[in-house]
Structures are given as structure tokens and as C-alpha cells.
Amino acid sequence: MPSSVANEGYKFQSSRSSPSGSPATVPDDVEVVDEALTLLQLETQTIPQDVAVPARSRAGWQIKGSSLSLNTHNRIRNIVESLKINPNPQKPMIPLSIGDPTTFGNLKAADETMKAVMKSLESGKFNGYAHTQGHEASRQAVAKYSAHQRPNGVIDPSDIMLCSGCSSALEYCILALADRGQNVLVPRPGFCLYYTLAEGLNIEVRYYDLLPEQQWRADLVQLESLIDENTAALLINNPSNPCGSVFDKAHLQELVNICERHYLPIIADEIYEHFVFPGSRHVAVSSLTREVPVLSCGGLTKRFLVPGWRMGWIIVHDDQQRLGTAKSGLKNMCGRILGSNTIIQGALSDILTKTPQSYFDGVIDVLYSNAQLAYNLLKPVLGLKPVMPNGAMYMMVGVCIERFPAFKDDTHFVQELVNEQSVFCLPGSCFEFPGYVRIVLTVPRNMIEEACVRIAEFCEANYKKDNQALIEESLLDDAHVHY
């Protein structure tokens, strides 16, 4: 299905008269669509002449959802809806599950960011359609903002596609590279959208493991064993949701080397680019290679704290022109919804250049101190193993489920935590990683603190020590004495 849609888009494009691949303007598109409609009408009009009695084509109403729509699922929603939740009425609910950082009002978009949109709106210049990849000036702004992603520091605006949020950027990349029956490698634990986008089209997702005890680095041997001739791309999410981990340069280089060896393009979900805590540095994977094509997906959503504005982008890094027809395919994909919203496009240059560094530093401060607070409160709790993040907005906490015999898995643990303590985390199962829960760090500090105190209380109440474990622990304690 993706290829047939892409092919149709391609026919539309090639039937345009514009010779040099210069940006097609909207009136052209409208004409082409009109032409296609006229042809369609002519065709349908000829049918009755060939048939003696106009027969009904079906016996009754038989409307069905398409297989694409019926095979599209939001895993988080499915798992959350299956929980039997009955929060403790004595305690106000603390949702450490909500990924939207604007929910609690403690984290706000910068004034400069909002003023930019006001100016764009008031100019009256951004009410019309843009080029399907986005206005040239807006793409120019993204190119400048993202220059560090290229080894030579230069990005051509024609290699940028503005999309409706980073989600649609990811969708275009996956659909432009993979056909039904092919597979894409995605991280586990990982953001469940990748699966949601692929499954309805019968594109297989294969999970490569991230190792919690190695700061969530990828298991390279296992990753490489997943690659076959049907592997269309490696998806890297750095910094990571849900892990909050940040790959260092050396590890990214190892990933690039694997892709080079197997001729595999990279889809880089870098929506948390720049979103790292003191002591860590984010390296754009595209900056490390001229050999492997990289499609970098980014956007305003997380760094500028405006998820509802739906502004994301794809930056195509392909120095050696290896993407072949996949590049035209990507451009065709942009024609499906005719681009991202133009008011934000009009504001993009100001948003990207005028939002001050002090604003970003302030947001990072809040998240970093929340991370430290939560880590320090949860670390001593028996049965839990928080993993300190280096960036993004989340922390994964290991739950040693054998120590909580009343609960059968992470999902059950989460359910009872809500019911006893009115604290809601997402189970690791939402990210293909049972045995963990994810907490968000964007809630106000006092809520994080209260939530962690309640989690500790909950764990204490449900933790079971067996004799064998006691013996082992005392042995461990003895060992500590020796060091």
C-alpha cells in the first residue's frame, strides 16, 4: 500500500510542467487534481453504457474499517485502558504518566516563542498554502538552526521537510523507506509510536535491546543479528524516551559502522536534541558520517514546550546521494497533507533565533533537579532500581517484581500503586520493557517529591523478603564490610 500511494504521488509530480524540479506552486496542484477528477468522471460515465441493466454493486450496507485503520493501535492507550483503576480517594492523584510537559503549567513556552507567533499571525502573510515541504524561508531557518548536524556545517533547504509534528516526520521516513513485509529496527525500551506507525502497513518492527546496566547503550551484537535483506532502516532515538539516556559519540559511531557495513539508512529521532543535563553532550548522528544516509527528525515540540503547535521536520543528510528514489518518495509523502501549519512556519525563524539560551537553561535546570530528587528518593527503596537519566524528560525505574509477590508484573504493580497511593506511572510494558516503570520529570517539584514518598511507602508495604534473600543480603553486607 505505501508504494502504490507513493507511485500515484509521483505521477502527479511528473505530470507537472515545471521542468527543473522547481517548487510546485499550489495552483499547479489544484489543476492537476482537477484534471485527475475530470478523467475519473469520464471513466465512471462510460461504465453504464457497457452494462445492460444497472445492477447494484452490493446487497446492502457493508462499510468496514480499512485494514490499515483497524491495525493501527496506540499501545499506551490499550494498556492504560486495561487497568482496573480506582484511585485512593484520600490522596490527590499525581499523574507521573503524562508526557505533555505543558500539563501542569510549571513549564511554559518562552515569551519570545509566543511573540513570534503573534507577529506571524498579525502579518497576515501566512494564511495561504505553503510549498508542500514548507516555506523556503522557514526551511532556511531550520537549515541554519541545524547546521551542526552536518560534518561540513551546510544544509540545503531543499533537504528539509516541515511536517505536522515530529510524529508525522517519523511516519514519512518509515513509509518512504519500508514496504509491506520489510522491517525496521527500533529500540527496546522505546517510544511506541514507531510500532503504531508500522504495524497497520505490515511493516515489521524488530526490537534491538538497550542495556540498563550500560546506561542504555544498544546491544550491538543482538542488533546486528536482527539485520537481513529486508531490513529497511535502523531507527535511533537519542536522547531517549523513555530512558532519558544520551549516547556518546563513540557509541553512535559503532551504530553508524554497523549501518555502513549493511548499507542501512538511519532514521534519527532527535526530538530531544539539545535536551541534555549538565555533564552530557548530545551528538547528532548525522554529524559523524558522510557515508550513511541519515534522516533526522526533529521539531519544536519538546525543546520549545509547544507540543500542540505541531511543528516538526525531517532533515535529509545524504552526501553521496544514496537514498535514490526514497528521496523523491519522501517528497511525495509531503504531498499527502500539504505541509505543516503556516502560522507556525511564519514564526519559525524568530522562534529558532530569538528564544534565549537562558530559557533553555532554565528548563533543563528544572528537569535535572527533578531527576536528582526522584533518583535520590527512589534509590534507597527496597525493590526499586532507578536509572539516572542524562537528558529528555523521563526516568526508568526497575521494579524487582519477585520482591512484590502480590503483583504479577509491572502493569499490576502500576495498577495497585494507583489504587493505594494515587500515583500513576506508565508500566514498562508500554515501551516493550516489562519489569520497569517510567516516570515523567516535568511535573512540579513538590509533586515529584510527594509521589516518590508515596511510592516508597507503597513498596515498603508490599515488599517481601524471603529467607534465602535475607541470607544473600547478609552475605552481601559482609562483603561490603571487607571493602
Ligand X SMILES: *Cc1c(COP(=O)(O)O)cnc(C)c1O
Where do contacts with ligand X occur on this chain (CB under 6 A)? 165-167, 191, 237, 241, 269, 271, 299, 301-302, 307, 312
Min dist CB 308 to ligand X, Å, is 8
Query: Closest CB to ligand X among 307 and 435?
Result: 307
Tell me the DSSP string of 184-217: EEEEES--THHHHHHHTTTPEEEEEEEEGGGTTE
Min dist CB 374 to ligand X, Å, is 18
Phi/psi of residue 118, nearest 5 degrees: -60, -45
Min dist CB 351 to ligand X, Å, is 14
Yes or no: say if 150 and 288 are a contact pair by the CB < 8 Å rule.
Answer: no
Query: Closest CB to ligand X among 9 and 307?
Result: 307
Query: Closest CB to ligand X among 194 and 404?
Result: 194
Contacting residues for 72 by C-beta, under 8 A, at least 6 apart: 196, 199, 200
Query: Closest CB to ligand X among 76 and 227?
Result: 76
- Pairing mode of beta strands 160-163, 426-427: unpaired
Yes or no: say if 36 and 16 are a contact pair by the CB < 8 Å rule.
Answer: no
Min dist CB 170 to ligand X, Å, is 6
Query: Closest CB to ligand X among 162 and 381?
Result: 162
Min dist CB 299 to ligand X, Å, is 4
Does the CA dihedral 339-273-185-97 come out positive or negative? Answer: negative
Query: Closest CB to ligand X among 286 and 301?
Result: 301
- Rounded to whole angstroms, how far apart are CA atoms 22 and 67? 37
Sole residue written with cell 521516513? 173
Min dist CB 427 to ligand X, Å, is 17
Look up residue 360 and give its three cell numbers.
533553555
Query: Closest CB to ligand X among 155 and 169?
Result: 169
Look up residue 218 and give its three cell numbers.
544498544
Identify which of 361, 375, 397 has the alpha carbon closest to the alpha carbon of residue 449.
375
- 266 by DSSP, 3-state: which? strand
Query: Closest CB to ligand X among 297 and 417?
Result: 297
- 94 exposed, middle or buried (CB, 10 Å; 0-12, 13-18, 19+)? buried
Min dist CB 302 to ligand X, Å, is 6
Look up residue 246 and give its three cell numbers.
544520551
Min dist CB 325 to ligand X, Å, is 26
What residue number has its CB nearest to ligand X?
165
Yes or no: say if 235 and 264 are a contact pair by the CB < 8 Å rule.
Answer: no
Yes or no: say if 186 and 236 are a contact pair by the CB < 8 Å rule.
Answer: no
